[in-house]
Amino acid sequence: MSKPKVAFFDFASCEGCQIEFTNYGDKAFLELLNHVDVVEFREAMSETTTEPIDIALIEGSFTREADRARLEDIRRRAKIVIAYGQCAATGGINALKNHQNDYLPCVYGKDAGMPHLASQKALPIDAAIKVDYKAFGCPMNKYEVLQIISHLVHGKEPVIPDYPVCVECKRRETVCRFAEGDHCMGQVARAGCDAPCPAAGIPCEACRGFVDHPNIPALKKVLVERAGFSKARAESKANMFTANQLELKP
Amino acid sequence: MNHQCHWTEIENIFMPREATIVRTATPTPMEKHFTLKMADGKPMTFEPGQIVEASLFGYGEIPLGFASSPTRENTFDLVVRTVGRVSSAVNKLEKGQSIFIRGPLGKGFDLNKLRGKDVLIVAGGIGLCPTRSLIQYIMDRRTEFKRFVLFYGTRDPKQQLFLEDLVAWRASKDVEYFETVDKGDPSWKGNVGVITTLFPKVQITPETRVVICGPPVMFRFVIRELDKLGIKRENIFVDLERRMKCAVGKCGHCQINDKYVCVDGPVFAFSDIQGLEEAI
Amino acid sequence: MTALFIKDKEFHDFVAALVGATPVYAPVAKRSLFAFERLVSADALRLDYDVTILPPKKLFFPPAQELLKFTGGKFTASVHPEEKVLFGVHFYDVKAIDQTDQLFAEKNYDVNYMAHRQATTIVASNIQKVSRRAFFGTVGQEVHPKGHDAYLTKIGTGYVFETFTPKGEALTKHGNFEPATDTQRAEVVKVNAAVLEQCPEKLTHKSAEIATKVRQAFKNEELWRECAVDCFSCGTCNTVCPTCYCFDVQDTWNVDQKSGSRTRYWDACLTESFATISAGGGHVENFREERGERFRHRIMRKASYLNPKLGGPACVGCGRCSSQCTADIADPVRIINKIMAL
């Protein structure tokens, strides 16, 4: 691929993953622009395109049927579609609303039954269109995205880890959250982020979703037995970024 | 520490050597056949059954068996099936371009155990590539071996490799060649059925030396047939495939129980691995 | 070999002088645990550590080790060892280093490991505090620690510093040492023998019996499946193990898209795709698909497979896998004793 045309699109999201793309620092970012042609990116430019593109980076989850046509149009125009960030990859944090019994009464009290609160499930974009690759994470890891783009520039399929965050914590020699009486979900969370949270003393929330075959029963057991969670909390904890992965095993 | 030689005196086993592509062919849409020559002009000295790590910088390395005989001097052949990142990239290369090679690595066929004997080679699918090295060797030095029988099975006729070789083998008096496909098509006039359906077609003596290479599932069924024929297990040689990253006995991926396929194999006498539960 | 003595208050100066003269890697506190890190001052040294999160293998075989750099079709090796002192290594880790020395040097000599290893002077130290899952007292007793250059033992009011090699000997110029007395030397033997009795966990059998019986348990599918029910396939038991050295190799491009590097990364045979190959058309073949099969492979490797080569088990009883497995299923003592009791 010679200087591929890259375009960003967004659906239900905070657009933080797109902002993150501008955080490489001037030198690396300008160097990257020598190798890709950004043709639509509303965080940094006003131009848009209706032309064919090589790589579509789609941020956000698919939450309205009305969005399907726009997703299909992008798919038609793009050689490669990347679900960019966790909302697009698995539904991400938006999928919390998919089990809304959890919070509706808590947030809205007696108004919990108002009709406009009922909305479609927050789904990954591959519920609407074929996705070629997924850049996981909330936000996505910008260095991983750089590698994904770099691989695609060379016509190589990107390498996306299917091992858990524990591997990266150990490579960094991070003190395990469990060693300090805390909890963590790194055992089932997909790596690729270089495990910054546990290194800073914060439990992994599995913001990149689960590995392909997470051992969920063991996770719940460990959260109860070692972290002292109630059974109910252990259940809901495993749902934060991953509700769709538990419910919608493709 | 105990290992006295200094690291600077020893060749770095992870450094490849450049090889230039002198010819390519595309036997099937999935495979590409490369004939290569070392860029420094030095010959590649190897035994049939040995392997190389072939790489392209930026894409990575893959293990491959030699697909030609060392008796064909100056060049060597590799056949690459498009299955992953490296093979896809390698298979876009053309004549004049380079592939980077580490090797030869591992243990090939012990030719002394085959010389002067009847030899049967059972090759399934892409398993014909590493055995082609041995087949060519036997054909080139035909008088060193007694009877030579070759079984070749593929999923369907389109999967057949080395089509020119097949034409030559079908006509040759030097090899008793039998072929089969799991599933035929209208053009296929030959045998249909798994590779073991070839056994009733030919008399195999109990003293025959047998070489097997193919998909994991094939080994078990072929060995069952060989047991029926009374062939001793030390006379059966298997050429195994595993995941390999280093191919020099370090990275651990190819381990089968306590053996490393990359250094202890990939060719094993079946008697040496029949006790290994993870082998076949 | 010489045995010297240095008083507590002069020991601090010795370490400070070493740190001033050469890079020193030693146990230091890391939050509530310990790690081998570059020592910035003698005050940070924690010879009272129980066990470090990672074993010192990381200094010879880093979690990510560049093998070569490339630009187009040109490439160069990336072996740039740093002369250094590895200070305060417990004997179980010395045994493990000796094993990885052998394994990286045998057959195909691994320059990437050996260069770093040969650039290192190893000062072992006695175990002042036993970690809560240690079992070094009962594992591989027939294998003795070797390959270190010096051995430091805390006794009474100071340290005995035994040297075994010229590299170890050379370090003594940095401190105010005096010859050790016979009493002090006897104390060293006593202190190092006593710690072997203090492990909270114990194997019930000798290595040779274990190697045979564990190997025979290979086909006990039920056992292995049960052992691994709670396994996350996270590979922690591998990555924290001082005798595990499996790796993956990946190529990456730099942002210029022309140059890049080939790097090896710690890999783990417990992770799901460790033994998976692509078979074409999207098909894969995983030679160890079940958790139980992967779990078994590790135990076999630690207790049986490598014994003929190493003269004992590829396990040194550090207890890192036991204490760092969040599901607490990795403990070799529990599994091996269970098999021995069958």
C306 interaction partners in chain B (CB closer than 8 Å): 258
Query: Does C147 have pLDDT greater than 80?
Result: yes
B266 falls within a domain: no
User: Which of B222 and A30 is assigned the larger pLDDT?
Assistant: B222
Whether residues B119 and B76 share a domain: the answer is no
A43 falls within a domain: yes
pLDDT computed for residue A29 by the predictor: 85
Helix (H, G, I), strand (E, B) or coil at C326: coil
Q: Average the pLDDT over C159-182 and give the result.
A: 97
Residue B172 backbone dihedrals phi, psi, to 5 degrees: -75, 145
Query: Does B111 have pLDDT greater than 90?
Result: yes
Q: What is the domain range of residue A175? A: 165-247
> A153, A185, A204 — which closes off a domain?
A153
Whether residues A32 and A137 share a domain: the answer is yes
Query: Does A101 have pLDDT greater than 60?
Result: yes
**CA dihedral in degrees (A22, A25, A31, A37; nearest 10)?**
10
pLDDT computed for residue B2 by the predictor: 53
> A118, A153, A188 — which closes off a domain?
A153
* Tally of structural domains, chain A: 2
Whether residues B232 and B195 share a domain: the answer is yes
CA A163 to each of CA A37, A128, A132, A150, C274: distance values in angstroms, whole numbers, following the listed order: 32, 27, 20, 22, 10
3-state secondary structure chain A: CCCCEEEEEECECCCHHHHHHCCCCHHHHHHHHCCCEEEECCCCCCCCCCCCEEEEEEECEECCHHHHHHHHHHHHHEEEEEEECHHHHHCHHHHHHHHHHHCHHHHHHHHCCCHHHCCCCCECHHHCCCCCEEECECCECHHHHHHHHHHHHCCCCCCCCCCEHHHHHHHHCCCCHHHHCCCCCCCCEECCCCCHHHHCCCCCCCCCCECCCCCHHHHHHHHHHCCCCCHHHHHHHCCCCCHHHHHCCC
Size of interface A-C (CB pairs under 8 A): 114
What's the DSSP call for residue C143? S
- With CB atoms and an 8 Å threshold, state whether C287 touches B246: no
The residue ranges of every structural domain in chain C are 2-198, 207-340
pLDDT computed for residue A239 by the predictor: 75
Chain B residue with minimum CA distance to C114: B7
When scoring C76, C94, C111, C212 by the number of chain B Cβ atoms within 10 A, the one with the most, hence best to mutate, is C111
Which of C64, C230, C231 is nearest residue A171 as measured by Cβ atoms?
C64
| Separation between Cα atoms, residue B179 and residue B123, nearest integer Å | 10
Whether residues B233 and B117 share a domain: the answer is yes
| Separation between Cα atoms, residue C251 and residue C259, nearest integer Å | 10
* A4 preceded by a cis bond (ω within 30 of 0): no
Per-residue pLDDT reduced to its tens digit, B180-210: 999 999 999 999 999 999 999 999 999 999 9
When scoring C132, C234, C272 by the number of chain A Cβ atoms within 10 A, the one with the most, hence best to mutate, is C234
Query: Does C195 have pLDDT greater than 80?
Result: yes
A154 interaction partners in chain B (CB closer than 8 Å): 58-59, 89
Joined tokens for residue C138? 């009962």
Query: Does A250 have pLDDT greater than 80?
Result: no
> B64, B82, B105 — which closes off a domain?
B105
Query: Does B4 have pLDDT greater than 80?
Result: no
Chain C residue with minimum CA distance to A218: C230
Whether residues B88 and B38 share a domain: the answer is yes
**CB neighbours of residue B196 within 10 Å:** 17
When scoring C132, C231, C255, C323 by the number of chain A Cβ atoms within 10 A, the one with the most, hence best to mutate, is C255
Query: Does B217 have pLDDT greater than 90?
Result: no
Our CA-based measurement puts residue C200 at a distance from the nearest CA of chain B, in whole angstroms, of 31
Whether residues B96 and B125 share a domain: the answer is no
| Separation between Cα atoms, residue C117 and residue C105, nearest integer Å | 11
Mean pLDDT of chain A: 91
Whether residues A182 and A145 share a domain: the answer is no
Q: Average the pLDDT over A201-209 and give the result.
A: 95
| Separation between Cα atoms, residue C216 and residue A233, nearest integer Å | 43
Whether residues B118 and B72 share a domain: the answer is no
For residue A12, give the amino acid letter.
Answer: A
User: Which of A171 and B159 is assigned the larger pLDDT?
Assistant: A171
Joined tokens for residue C69? 């750099």
Per-residue pLDDT reduced to its tens digit, B82-96: 988 999 999 999 999
Of A55, A74, A75, whose CA–CA distance to A151 is shortest? A55
Contacts of C62 (CB under 8 A, 6+ apart): none
Whether residues B212 and B94 share a domain: the answer is no
A33 falls within a domain: yes
| Separation between Cα atoms, residue B48 and residue B69, nearest integer Å | 6
| Separation between Cα atoms, residue C102 and residue A83, nearest integer Å | 46
- With CB atoms and an 8 Å threshold, state whether C300 touches B257: yes
When pLDDT is cut at 50, 70 and 90, the band that residue A100 belongs to is: low
Neighbours of chain C (3+ CB pairs under 8 A): A, B
Per-residue pLDDT reduced to its tens digit, A14-66: 999 999 999 988 888 889 899 999 999 998 899 999 999 999 999 999 998 88
Query: Does B242 have pLDDT greater than 50?
Result: yes
Q: What does pTM read for this prediction? A: 0.94
Our CA-based measurement puts residue C270 at a distance from the nearest CA of chain A, in whole angstroms, of 10
What's the DSSP call for residue C129? S
Of B220, B225, B251, whose CA–CA distance to B238 is shortest? B220
With both helix axes pointing from N to C terminus, report the angle between C111-118 and C91-105 in degrees, rounded to the nearest 10.
140
When pLDDT is cut at 50, 70 and 90, the band that residue A104 belongs to is: confident
Residues C221 and C292: beta-carbon distance below 8 Å: yes
A143 falls within a domain: yes
The structure tokens 């290994």 sit at B276
Residues C200 and C132: beta-carbon distance below 8 Å: yes
A159 falls within a domain: no
Whether residues A37 and A138 share a domain: the answer is yes
Query: Does A245 have pLDDT greater than 90?
Result: no
B152 falls within a domain: yes
Per-residue pLDDT reduced to its tens digit, C201-249: 999 999 999 999 999 999 999 999 999 999 999 999 999 999 999 999 9
Stated as kind and residue range, the H or E segment containing C68 is strand C64-71
pLDDT computed for residue A118 by the predictor: 67
pLDDT computed for residue B231 by the predictor: 96
Size of interface B-C (CB pairs under 8 A): 144
Give the neighbor-by-neighbor strand order of the sheet with B31-38: B60-65, B51-56, B98-105, B17-28, B31-38, B76-81
For residue A93, give the amino acid letter.
Answer: I
Per-residue pLDDT reduced to its tens digit, B171-182: 999 999 999 999
Of B94, B210, B74, B92, whose CA–CA distance to B147 is shortest? B210
Whether residues B120 and B42 share a domain: the answer is no
B54 falls within a domain: yes
B264 falls within a domain: no
- With CB atoms and an 8 Å threshold, state whether B58 touches C297: no
Contacts of A124 (CB under 8 A, 6+ apart): A61, A62, A83, A88, A89, A90, A91, A131, A244
Joined tokens for residue B216? 């994991």
Our CA-based measurement puts residue C240 at a distance from the nearest CA of chain A, in whole angstroms, of 7
A160 falls within a domain: no
Of A161, A141, B87, whose CA–CA distance to C267 is shortest? A161
For residue C92, give the amino acid letter.
Answer: Y
Whether residues A39 and A148 share a domain: the answer is yes
C147 interaction partners in chain B (CB closer than 8 Å): 1-2
Whether residues B75 and B160 share a domain: the answer is no
Q: What is the CATH number of the domain that holds B216?
A: 3.40.50.80
B232 falls within a domain: yes
Query: Does C4 have pLDDT greater than 70?
Result: yes
Q: What is the CATH number of the domain that holds B28?
A: 2.40.30.10
Q: What is the domain range of residue B225? A: 111-239
Which of B13, B59, B277 is nearest residue C219 as measured by Cβ atoms?
B277
| Separation between Cα atoms, residue C95 and residue C241, nearest integer Å | 12
Stated as kind and residue range, the H or E segment containing C263 is strand C259-266
Per-residue pLDDT reduced to its tens digit, B146-165: 999 999 999 999 889 899 89
A170 interaction partners in chain C (CB closer than 8 Å): 53-54, 63, 235-236, 239-240, 266, 324
Whether residues A146 and A183 share a domain: the answer is no
Mean pLDDT of chain B: 93
Percentage of chain C lying above the pLDDT 90 cut: 95
Whether residues B95 and B117 share a domain: the answer is no
Whether residues A142 and A179 share a domain: the answer is no
Q: Average the pLDDT over C297-321 and give the result.
A: 97
Per-residue pLDDT reduced to its tens digit, B22-43: 999 998 888 899 999 999 999 8
Of A42, A40, A47, A116, whose CA–CA distance to A78 is shortest? A40
Residues A37 and A6: beta-carbon distance below 8 Å: yes
pLDDT computed for residue B3 by the predictor: 59
Whether residues B116 and B100 share a domain: the answer is no
Joined tokens for residue A212? 């392909």
When pLDDT is cut at 50, 70 and 90, the band that residue B236 belongs to is: very high
Concatenated DSSP letters for B123-158? Answer: EEGGGHHHHHHHHHHHHHTGGGSS-EEEEEEESSGG
B276 falls within a domain: no
- With CB atoms and an 8 Å threshold, state whether A157 touches B85: yes
* Tally of structural domains, chain B: 2
pLDDT computed for residue A247 by the predictor: 59
Query: How many Cα atoms occupy the beta-carbon half-sphere of C217 within 13 Å?
Result: 28
Helix (H, G, I), strand (E, B) or coil at C266: strand
The structure tokens 């591959």 sit at A126
Q: Please write down the long-range contacts of C19-24, taking CB distance under 8 Å and 24 or more positions apart.
A: C21/C174, C22/C83, C22/C84, C22/C85, C23/C82, C23/C83, C23/C84, C23/C85, C24/C84, C24/C85, C24/C87
Q: Average the pLDDT over B221-230 and give the result.
A: 95
Q: Where are the beta strands (DSSP E) in chain B?
A: 17-28, 31-38, 51-56, 60-65, 76-81, 98-105, 119-124, 148-154, 176-181, 191-192, 209-213, 236-239, 255-256, 259-260, 267-269
| Separation between Cα atoms, residue B280 and residue C7, nearest integer Å | 62
ipTM of the complex: 0.94
B57 interaction partners in chain C (CB closer than 8 Å): 70, 72-73, 75, 251, 260, 262
Residues A177 and A165: beta-carbon distance below 8 Å: no
Q: What is the CATH number of the domain that holds A35?
A: 3.40.50.700
| Interface contact B89, partner A, CB < 8 A | yes
Joined tokens for residue B258? 């306590």
Mean pLDDT of chain C: 96
